[in-house]
Amino acid sequence: MSDFSQLVPEHIRNLGGYTPGKSSRQAHRESRVNCIKMASNENPFGPSPKAVQAMQAVLGECNLYPDNDCGDLRQKLVERHQVRPEQIVPTAGSTALLGIIARTLLSPGLNAITSERSFIVYPIATQAAGGRLIQVPLRQDSYDLDALAAAVDGNTRIIYLSNPNNPTGTIVTATEVDRFLDNLPAHVVVVLDEAYYDFAQYLAARRSVDYSHALDYVKQGRQVVVLRTFSKAHGLAGVRVGYGIGPPELMSYFARMRTTFSVSGVAQAAAVAALGDEAHTQKALANNADQVPLLMEGMAELGHHVVPTWANFVYCELGEDAATVAKRLQAEGVIVRPLGPWGAPTAIRVTVGTPEQNKIFLKAFRKVMERAVASKQTVET
């Protein structure tokens, strides 16, 4: 038998895979109970009915290759963001674009920088490109921009800045990012990952906080690439469509690296229709803003550290093995995300659901955590 390890480069052999959130079907097979999924930050209201209709309308054309340039979608995004078409690159989800950016800008000997406990795809994308990822500690559960800047050296090509950060839900404000960009050298590209932009912007308006100047940076010609996605507020995680906005020359290199026909015709139709259904998106954003305090307070009442969130999920430090707690919650019919792969083995991330889903979760959470406390007290006595 061949030893394929001799054919595969070391940086690929050492590559860790992405572990997705558990599906409802998988959880049912394991626990034999019907589960609600609050693990992957999906829109609990699903896609827009207009998006569903648009997808159904093009299913009969699945024998044809999609528009490789995503012309209709790109034009809608041009109108929405007031940028030029050549500044936008649609991809099969923003995670696909992260891989493209890394492969374009990194190679052995070069590095990227991000924070600990940030988006789990950053290490994968960097290592797959042969680069080295430098991770600096968080400061109060948020990005430490001074530490990121201090870590830059002559071999740095990328800084990944998740804003809001996944999984902690924290942000760095527009003013903080302004100052950060002003002090970076010209050989560094900042990937400003705003997958949860819609939720953060809605909450920022309620809280009177200046959240993001991301598109201003692009229009000013800064070395910034802004990532957005249709997977979250628009409820299209299952069809995979996202995009990047940045300097035209740099985006042209990313476009060449893209897999041909990577954004399906179904995904393009759904995204265009979703952009035209503002009422559906606003419903998700308003629900999230209303439910975040209730979910946070319900978890904090039991004495756990809950980080104030700017996204559609809540980070909670349990002080005990999160994977075990997640299994117990699953037995009660709720799927959450234990954060061991993020380097936080005693923390969970919980997606903000509908009012009914959040009530179900809080009831299960109280039951599981109070049972754990009672069991611990019994052992100690």
- Band (pLDDT 50/70/90 cuts) for residue 26 is confident
Residues 122, 113: Cα–Cα separation, whole Å: 9
The verdict on residue 68 lying in a domain is yes
- The enclosing domain of 304 has a CATH number of 3.90.1150.10
In a domain, 381, yes or no: no
Closest CA to 88 of 228, 262, 240, 274: 228
Q: What is the per-residue pLDDT for 82?
A: 97
Mean pLDDT value across residues 132-154: 97
CATH number reported for the structural domain that contains residue 180 in this entry: 3.40.640.10
Classify burial at 154, counting beta carbons within 10 Å of its beta carbon; exposed 0-12, middle 13-18, buried 19 or more. exposed
- At residue 337 the predicted structure's pLDDT band, cuts being 50, 70 and 90, is very high
Top-confidence residue, 211 or 20: 211
pLDDT at 375: 56
pLDDT score at 185? 97
Q: What is the mean pLDDT of residues 142-168?
A: 98
pLDDT in tens, 158-214: 999 999 999 999 999 999 999 999 999 999 999 999 999 999 999 999 999 999 999
Instruction: Please state the pTM of the whole predicted model.
Output: 0.93
Q: Are 103 and 299 in contact (CB under 8 A)?
A: no
Asked whether residue 380 is assigned to any structural domain, the reply reads no
127 and 193 co-located in one domain: yes
- Please check whether residue 364 is in contact with residue 357, taking contact to mean a CB–CB distance below 8 angstroms: no
Percent of the chain with pLDDT over 90: 88
Q: Does residue 247 share a domain with residue 182?
A: yes
Based on the fold, state whether residues 315 and 226 are members of the same structural domain. Answer: no
My answer on whether 246 and 338 are in the same domain is: no
Residues 251-272: pLDDT tens digits?
Answer: 999 999 999 999 999 999 999 9
| Residue 357 resides in a domain | yes
3-state secondary structure of 361: helix
- What is the average pLDDT across 335-361? 97
Residue 373 confidence class, pLDDT cut points 50, 70, 90: low
CA distance to 122, 162, 179, 285, per residue, from 40 (Å): 17, 16, 32, 16
- pLDDT score of 246: 98
* Torsion angle of the four alpha carbons 113, 117, 122, 127, in this order, in degrees rounded to the nearest 10: 80
Q: How far apart are CA 315 and CA 40, in angstroms?
A: 12
pLDDT value at 39 more than 60:
yes
Do 210 and 71 fall into the same domain? yes
Are residues 137 and 216 both part of a single domain?
A: yes
Query: If pLDDT is split at 50, 70 and 90, which confidence band does 310 have?
Result: very high
Domain end point (choices 252, 277, 302): 277
Instruction: Answer yes or no: do 234 and 173 share one domain.
Output: yes
**Predicted pLDDT of residue 109:** 97
HSE at residue 57, side-chain half, CA atoms within 13 A, is 11
Q: Can you give the pLDDT at residue 4?
A: 77
By three-state DSSP, how is residue 58 classified?
helix
Do 68 and 191 fall within a single domain?
Answer: yes
- What's the domain count of the chain? 2
> For position 378, what pLDDT does the model report?
52
SS3 (DSSP) at 134:
strand
378 inside domain: no
Q: Which residues of 58-78 are buried (b: 16+ CB within 10 A; e: fewer)?
A: beeeeeeebeeebeebbebbb
Residue 377 has pLDDT above 60, yes or no: no
272 and 287 within one domain: no
Range of the domain at 161: 49-277
Residue with token string 């419903």:
283
Is position 379 within any domain? no
Q: Same structural domain for residues 286 and 209?
A: no
Considering the domain architecture, whether residues 155 and 230 belong to the same structural domain is answered as: yes
pLDDT tens for residues 220-238? 999 999 999 999 999 999 9
Question: What is the per-residue pLDDT across 56-109, written as a single tens digit (0 to 9) for each?
Answer: 999 999 999 999 999 999 999 999 999 999 999 999 999 999 999 999 999 999
pLDDT digits (tens, 9 = 90+) for 271-287: 999 999 999 999 999 99
Residue 94 lies in a domain: yes
pLDDT at 379 over 60: no
User: Across the chain, what does the average pLDDT equal?
Assistant: 94
- Residues 22-31 have a mean pLDDT of 68
Is 311 contained in some domain?
yes
Same domain, 257 and 126: yes
Residue after which a domain boundary falls, among 243, 277, 311: 277
Q: What is the pLDDT of residue 31?
A: 65
Domain end residue (candidates: 249, 277, 305): 277
Given this model, what pLDDT does residue 374 score?
A: 55
